[in-house]
Structure 1
Amino acid sequence: MKKVENCKLISKTEIIDGIFDFVIESEDISKEAQCGQFLHINCGDSTFLRRPISICDAENGKVRFIFEVKGKGTEELAKKEVGDYIDVMGPLGHGFEIKDSVKNAVIIGGGIGVFPLYKLAKNINADVFLGFRSKDRVVMEDEFNDVSNMVIVGTDDGSYGYNGYIASAMDQYLDSHKCDMIYSCGPMPMLKAVKKIAESRGIKCQVSLEQRMGCGIGACLVCSCETNKEGTDRYAKVCTNGPVFYSEEVTLND
């Protein structure tokens, strides 16, 4: 079992309304964290279950994670101040598979799904697509630009960048560019669209799934997702078998 440690919060920023950027100290997590893994965080005394939050970046004894306040747990977590200690378990899960044979990679993220993709973008050469609801929800554009070959940002309402769903922007790009791997994280409708595009073009695709979790270590089965296998292997645990899967392995359900 991954160990639990109390990590000191050394940086806190509300980057846009309701979305907080935390940096904690942890030599062990910083060394062990792989792209696409997550932390299981005790948000405070008023919540019983830990909350899974993806690792945005990890290096030099520092671990960064960004989260949106969605309920009681993350609301309490957002009240933490610099100097406080946070009860963290991790790193957990199966992250993105990085292959030396991949020469033309695409990263595509939507909404809060862009955060788990940043460490990946720092570790591979890729063209990046970032989708958001509107201009006022666009985050990390400059940071991705600093570490990527190219970044295209789109908004659903057309208020900034590409006008429309970001999967459509990627599809148009693929008409004239080579790609041998797609890495994706975001809302389920986006993942479904990305999977369909990848399959139609014969491109391998990895998807990071967001799922409600209980234990975070594969014991409680709360986070099970349906796979394309039969029998006892039909369901996989997002917390241990995932959160990253190859798109052809899983059934993407709303």
Structure 2
Amino acid sequence: MIKTCVTAKVIKQHPLAGDVFQLTVAVPAIAAVSRPGQFVHLRLTETFDPLLRRPFSIADCDAGQGTLTLIYRVVGRGTRLMAGLQSGDSLDCMGPLGNGFALNSQRPLLIGGGMGLAPLLMLARAFCSRPATILMGGRNEQELFWPGIYAGICQNIHITTDDGSVGQRGFTVDLLPGLLKQGEFDGIYACGPHAMLKGVAATAAQYRIACQVSLEEYMACGVGACLSCTCAAAGGKRHKVCTDGPVFRAEEVVW
């Protein structure tokens, strides 16, 4: 796997909603070889505080411009530092890391919950010649700023919120069976909370539709050395999410 560790230059950053930000960096060497579903590992300062790098899914990529776009939520010290970056700032970027999605579907259905919608954006663009349908879920209307981002990329957008403030009240897995009955989907691509992925995987198996899932795990090293991101796998084995994944066939993961 081709990966590199280089200095990335901040092109622009702006808030999307509440504590969610969109960051665009110039990093041509990584943008040239990035694939949907992969991630980068960032060192946010020149010191060892914070000590560890932070992993971020690649939300979008423009190989021609040499840029990557990351969409992230501020949840701790690392992301608070990241939210303070301004145009012209630099940070150490390692990537692209991990295995991405296999683009082997002709009628794809994308399913994202919360910040799990970030890595599906680049995937949706990759399906531009066979526009994808997307099912997206969040806690409330404030979290569902995503339709505007996906507009013009996905053929159909279906929305659920926990409180019913926008779209259908409930969870993505509640709406999924109805969509599978109506559509002729031959592949499901999902990213989001563990409980959502478990439900999506079970429904996909019931309808005998191939399903790929992107797991969200904390990764200390990002290169398979520390074993902090392992998950249970079929056959009693364990997967390293950072190097064996983060994308897996649903049947490879023990839920």
Normalization by structure 2: what TM-score? 0.94
Q: Is the 2:3–2:30 Cα contact (8 Å) retained in structure 1?
A: no
Equivalent positions of 1:81-230 (< 5 A) are 81-99=86-104, 102-124=105-127, 125-230=131-236
Query: How many percent of aligned residue pairs carry the same amino acid?
Result: 37
Aligned length: 247
Check if 1:245 corresponds to 2:209. Answer: no
Instruction: Please name the residue that 1:29 is paired with.
Output: 30
Instruction: Please name the residue that 1:56 is paired with.
Output: 59
Equivalent positions of 1:68-87 (< 5 A) are 68-87=73-92
Separation in 2 of the partners of 1:8 and 1:140? 25
Instruction: Please name the residue that 1:65 is paired with.
Output: 70
Separation in 2 of the partners of 1:80 and 1:30? 20
Separation in 1 of the partners of 2:177 and 2:29? 39
> In angstroms, what is the RMSD of aligned CA positions?
1.2
1:170-226 CA deviation, whole Å, 9 max, x = no partner?
221112211111000001111111011101111110000011111101111111111
1:72-92 CA deviation, whole Å, 9 max, x = no partner?
111111111111001110110
Gaps of 5+ in 1: none
Instruction: Please name the residue that 2:43 is paired with.
Output: 42
Q: Is the 2:13–2:86 Cα contact (8 Å) retained in structure 1?
A: yes
2:238 is aligned, of 225, 235, 240, to: 235
Q: After the TM superposition, which parts of structure 1 deviate over 4 Å for at least 4 consecutive aligned residues?
A: none
Residue 32 of structure 1 aligns to a residue whose secondary structure is coil
Q: Is the 1:29–1:58 Cα contact (8 Å) retained in structure 2?
A: no
